[in-house]
A and B are shown apart, each in its own frame.
Chain A
Amino acid sequence: MESTNYSNFRIEAENICVDYNGKIALYDANLRLKPGQICGLVGMNGAGKTTFFNALTGFVNISKGKIRINGESIRSAQKDQAIAYVPQNEGIDSQFPINVWDVVMMGRYGSMNILRCPRESDIHAVKNAIERVDLAEHLSTPIGNLSGGQRKRTFLARAIAQRASILLLDEPFAGVDIRTEKLISELFLQFKNEGKTILLSTHDMIHVREFCDLVLLINKTVLAYGETSEVFTPENITSTFGGISPDFLFGPES
C-alpha cells in the first residue's frame, strides 16, 4: 500500500498512553513520521520501547490518545498490511520447527485466503524477498540452524514480502555479524528510496548517528524528539539513561 502523497504522515501518534492492569508503561507519547524517514527509538530497558511498538502494531490497546497509520485507524492498517514488525532475536522461539521459506511466507498470510494457500504472486514475493536478504541458499533450512544474523535477515525478508510501508525493527543490529549489518544498512537506504518509513529501537549509539534522520528518546514518555543532529546530544542521552554519562555509553563496550 504505497502512498504517493508524500505530505501525509505515515505514523501519527498523539498523546498515547498504555497501561498494563493499571501499571503505566507509556504516557503522553507523541510521534510523527513521514514517508522515507528513519527514526531511532532510544531508551533504557523497560523505558517502553517494546510497548511503543506494541501500541503501533495494535498488539496492545492504548488507554488514551490517538494513533493514525497512513491516515487510517490501526485496524485498517492491519488489514492493509501497512505495518511489519521485525522482532528481536530473543523474541522468537528459534527451536520452532519451521524453515526460512515458511517464515517468509507468513509475511503474505494477511493477504491470502482463509486456508492461506499461496498464489503465484505470493510465491514470487517470497522468492524475491529471500533473494534481497541474500538467503537464497537457505530456503529450506530450519531457523534453529541459522546464525543470529541469518535469522534476523529471515524476519527482515518476511517484512519485505509483506510489502509493508512501515517497518518497526526491535534491536535490528543486536547480535548480528558484519555481513548482516552491512546488508541491513543497504536495505535501509533502499527502503528510504521506496518511501517506506522505519522506526528502529537500538542500544547502539553509533548506529543512531549512522542511520537515523530522527531520534526519539523515551523513558515512559518522550524526553526529546527531533533531528538526530539536534536532539542526540550528550545531555539528552545522559538524561535518557538516568544520569549515566555518554562517555560510558560511547566507551569501548559500544
Chain B
Amino acid sequence: MDFFCFLNINTFITDPLTHDFMRKALFMSSLVAAVCGFLSSYLTLKGWALMGDAVSHSVMPGVVVAYALGLPFSLGAFIFGVGSVALIGFIKQKSRVKEDTIIGLVFTGFFALGIVLVSKIKSNIDLHSILFGSPLGISLSDVKQTVFISLLVVLILLVFRKDLMLYCFDPRHAKTVGINVLFLHYLLLTCLSLAAVVGLQSVGIILVVAMLITPGATAYLLTDQFDNMTMISVLSAIFSSVIGIYISFWFDLETGGSIVLAQTFIFLFAFLFAPRYGLFKFKKLISGYKQ
C-alpha cells in the first residue's frame, strides 16, 4: 500500500514532464516567476503595488499593436508601460487630482484602448491568452524574447541591487551622497515594465500584478534581512509556479489562475504562521521569546 502511494506520487510528478509543452511551461513560468519575485521585494518595500497594477494593465494596447504590426510584442508592451507611467507623472504635476485616482484613471483608459483595438484589428490575436496567460502555448520566438528580457532584468537588479535598496529605503540620503535618484526611479520603472511584459505570458495581464507583489509580501513577513527577503521571494515565486502548473495539469484548471492562487495560499500561510510577524507569532508561543 505504501509502495503504491509512492508510485502514485512519483507519476504525479513525472507524468507531466513527459510532455514537451509541460517542460517548456515549467521552465518558462519558473523563470518569469523568479524575475517577478526578485523585483517584488523592491516594489512592496517602495509601496508600488498600485503602480505595478497600472503598468501591467497599460501594456495591453502595446501588445495588440505589436502583434498587428508584426513587431516583438515586448517592444510594444514596454513602450506603453513606460508611457503610462510618464502620463501618470505628467497629469499629477499638472492637475490637482490625487495620485491614486490618476493611476486608476490612466491604466483603465489604456486597458480599454487595448480591448477596443483587439475587437477592431482583425488578426489572430487570442484575447484570452493575453488576459489570462498561456504558459502552455508559448511559441519559440516568445521563449527567446522572454529569456532575453528576464536575463536583462536580473542583470540590472543584480548590478543595482544595493542602490535600488537605498532608493527604496532613503532616497534623500541617496541624493545627498551624489547617487542619481532620478535614474534609479526610471530604472525601477523600466524593470517593472519589462517584468510585467514577461509575467503576462505566464498568468496574463489581469493577474500579473500578483506575480509582482505577492512573493515580496510573503517574504516581508518572514525575514528582517533584505537579501533573505529577495531570496525567499524568488523561491516562493518559483515554487508557486511549479505547484500551480502541476495542479492545473492534473485537475484541468486555468494555469495562470492556479499559479496566482498558489502564491496567495503561500502568503496566507505566512500571514498565519510566520515566526515573528504571523498572526499566531509562533516564536513567542513556543519559547516565550520576548521581543
Contacts and interface: CB of A to CB of B under 8 A. Distances in A.
A56 B223 CA distance: 36
A144 B173 contact: no
A21 B176 contact: no
B166 interface: yes
Contacts of A197: none
Interface in B69-84: none
Contacts of A144: 224
A114 B184 CA distance: 13
Contact of A106 (B93, B166, B175, B228): B166
Given A96-B45, A97-B229, A115-B162, A78 B169 contact: no
A59 B226 contact: no
Contacts of B178: 75, 78-79, 81, 110
B173 to A, nearest CB: 6
B224 A85 contact: no
Contacts of B179: 109-110
A59 B162 contact: no
Given A115-B159, A145-B291, A97 B176 contact: no
B176 A85 contact: yes
B277 to A, nearest CB: 9
Size bin of chain A's contact surface: 20 to 34
A158 interface: yes
A116 interface: yes
A214 to B, nearest CB: 22
Contacts of B176: 57-59, 78, 83-85
A87 B224 contact: no
A85 B166 CA distance: 14
Contact of B170 (A54, A58, A106, A110): A106
B267 interface: no
A99 interface: yes
Contacts of B226: 96-98, 102
A116 B45 CA distance: 20
B10 interface: no
B9 interface: no
A80 to B, nearest CB: 8
Contacts, number: 78
Contacts of A107: 177
A97 B220 contact: yes
A157 to B, nearest CB: 13
Interface string B167-194: 0111011111111000000000000000
Nearest to B170: A92
Contacts of B166: 106, 109
A202 interface: no
Interface string A111-142: 10011100000000000000000000000001
B175 A57 contact: yes
Nearest to A145: B291
Contacts of B168: 96
Interface string B27-59: 000000000000000000100000000000000
A217 B291 CA distance: 42
Interface string A149-165: 00000000010001000
Nearest 3 A-B pairs (CB), nearest first? A110-B177, A78-B178, A142-B224
Given A57-B175, A87-B173, A116-B162, 4 more contacts: A59-B175, A84-B176, A91-B172, A97-B45
